[in-house]
Structure formats: structure tokens, C-alpha cells
Amino acid sequence: MINKKNWGAVLLIAALAGTIFAGGCGLQIEEANDALSKASAHQQEAEEILLRLKAFPQEWETLFSSGAAGPDQIAQARQVVQARGADVEALEETLKAWGREIKTILTLNVDQKVKDYVELKLQAINCWESYTAGNLRPIISLYGEIVELLAYDRPSAEQEAAVQELAGLVKQSSEALKECEERSKKADDFFEDNKLGK
């Protein structure tokens, strides 16, 4: 039987034992930081690819700034369209890797605010995936079609119809881009507001 004098010591030992065992099943901060670091590398890669894709209209304009569509411009345009098409594919893969990496944090024992941030970030990544597949891919594809219309000197009505279609896709793309940027900002603001990086 435990007397009242020893009761305090028993409680202290029980509390210490609980602390030791809790350390074994505690927060998995190191694992979460590792996953976040890997996810951030994918995010940076995605941002670099997006910069190249955003520069594409300027590349196109520079190619055809003289107003002529000679063999050299057509060959260069085909190369640029092919390179940007490869960028779209790379972006799709990078976004998948980014999402997979950050999603692993949801399986870890971390603070709920970290999980809330990951959920917001995944919503942003899903938006970027939709944007890439639904907006960027069709735009690059249509640029490729326009190059071929120019290369084969198709009637101006066909060329104009393709340019009008492109203008519509670009407008839709701008709206989708804005949504993705807003979702990304929401996740980043949540991260900052909750001082998750501290």
C-alpha cells in the first residue's frame, strides 16, 4: 500500500514515464520537415517551368515580329512549340511529384495546423494540375496547329479562326491562372499567419 508521503513521488514517476513514452510516439517534425523540403524543391522546379511557359507568347511574337513566316521562322517556331510542349509534360510530372511528397505529411503525427496547411497546398497543386492539363496543354497544341497553318500557307480565314480560338483559350487560361495564384497565396498566407516555418 502506498502511503500519502510517497503518493507525490509515484505521481512524479508516472509523469516522467509518460514523458519518455510520449517521446517515442511524439510529433514527427523531422520527417515532416524532410517531406516539406523535398516538396519545396518540386515547387521551385514547377515555378521555373511556369516562367518559361509564361515567356512563350513573347518568344512567339519575337519569331514573327517581321510579319513574315519564312522557312526559318517556321522551323524555329516548331522547335519552340516542341520545347514548350516538353515543358508542359515536365510540369505535369513535377506537380504530381510535388503533390505526392507534400501529401506524405498528412500521414505523419504533426500539429493539425500543419495538416491544414498541407490540405490548402494540395488544393493549390490540384488547381495547377487542372490548369496545366486544361489550359496550357491546349494552348501549346493550338500554337503547333497555327505553325502548320502558316507552314502550309493555309487560307487566311483558317489562320484567323485559329488565332481567334487561341484568344479564347488565353482568356480562359488567365482566369484559371488567377484562381491557382489565389489558392497558392491562401496556402502561403496560412503558413505565414500561423508561423509554421518558425
CA distances from 126 to 35, 36, 132, 155, 175 (A): 18, 17, 10, 40, 16
Q: What is the mean pLDDT of the chain?
A: 88
Span 41-85, pLDDT tens digits: 999 999 999 999 999 999 999 998 888 789 999 999 999 999 999
- What is the C-alpha to C-alpha distance for residues 173 and 69, in angstroms, rounded to an integer? 26
Whether the per-residue pLDDT at 7 is higher than 50: the answer is no
Q: Residue range 117-139: average pLDDT?
A: 98
CA end-to-end distance (rounded Å), the chain: 48
Whether the per-residue pLDDT at 138 is higher than 60: the answer is yes
pTM: 0.84
Residue 169: band (very low, low, confident or very high) from pLDDT cuts 50, 70, 90: very high
126 HSE (CA, 13 A, CB side): 8
- What is the C-alpha to C-alpha distance for residues 189 and 79, in angstroms, rounded to an integer? 39
Give the per-residue pLDDT at 198.
Answer: 66
According to CATH, the topology of domain 28-193 is Four Helix Bundle (Hemerythrin (Met), subunit A) (1.20.120)
Give the per-residue pLDDT at 65.
Answer: 87
How is the chain split into domains, by residue range? 28-193
Q: Residue range 95-112: average pLDDT?
A: 96
Whether the per-residue pLDDT at 8 is higher than 80: the answer is no
b/e code 120-157 from CB counts within 10 Å (16+ = b):
bbbebbebbbebbeebbbbbbebbbbbbebbeeeeeee
Whether the per-residue pLDDT at 89 is higher than 50: the answer is yes
List of residues 6+ apart from 138 with CB closer than 8 A? 169
Residue 197: band (very low, low, confident or very high) from pLDDT cuts 50, 70, 90: confident
